[in-house]
Amino acid sequence: MRNKVINKDKYVVDLQRLQGLCTRNYALLLRLLPLQYELGQQWQIKMPNGLYFELSVLEISAYTECYKLAQKVWAVSDEEGESSPSQVPGFMNMEFEFRVYHDAQMLEVISYQKQSRIRANNPYPNEHLHHKDEKLQVNQLLKDWLNLAVKHQSKNNNKTLLEASTSE
């Protein structure tokens, strides 16, 4: 019996697709952001069914900015019927950090679920079980979320979804 040689082609990053996705994410984010904001500012983006996202400005420089986006839920108090922020169970955590490049008009996810240095191509299999195209998939997930927020904003007669955060 002969040894079978499995010829697996090495994954090659589709830079045109990745850059197109980053450009689309940039345009979607701009539709949500107010015209003026400052370092440390936070907003809550309320969605249906008690879900909301908190967007925070982490860094601002001449041509780049860094943001953090975290998923949260509203818990309803039994006694008074008032809503207050609550943490999402660990298995439902979604937290992005992304950098915005204004000169290139692109947005790139730099950290997802506290895992930084997301590679554009990973050897497969690998010890962390990352996909071959992990960077593309994480940026696609952010695009899906941004599309959801923009569509929700459109349903609300284009009223801004961003509300100044009162937490912390």
Per domain, the residue ranges of the chain are 38-158
Task: Report the range of poorest mean pLDDT among 12-21, 32-41, 46-55, 115-124.
Answer: 115-124
Q: What is the pLDDT of residues 10-19, one digit of tens each?
A: 666 677 988 9
Burial class (CB in 10 A: 0-12, 13-18, 19+), 73: middle
d(CA 155, CA 105): 26
The token duo for 73 is: 């839920």
Tokens read off for 8: 């697996």
Whole-number Å distance between alpha carbons of 121 and 51: 32
Looking at the predicted structure, is the pLDDT value of residue 76 above 80? Answer: no
The CA distance from 68 to 54, in Å, is 8
More confident site: 85 or 72: 72
Q: Is the pLDDT of residue 87 over 70?
A: no
User: What pTM was estimated for this model as a whole?
Assistant: 0.76
Kindly report the number of other CB atoms within 10 A of residue 30's CB atom: 13
* CB contact at 8 A, 28 and 143: yes
d(CA 97, CA 121): 19
Predicted local confidence at residue 38, as pLDDT: 94
Convert the pLDDT of each residue in 113-168 to its tens digit. Answer: 766 676 555 556 656 555 567 788 889 989 998 998 888 877 776 555 566 665 44
Per-residue pLDDT at 158: 57
Here the tokens at position 81 are 């019927």
The predicted structure's pLDDT at residue 53 = 85
Sign of the dihedral through C-alpha 71, 49, 29, 86: negative
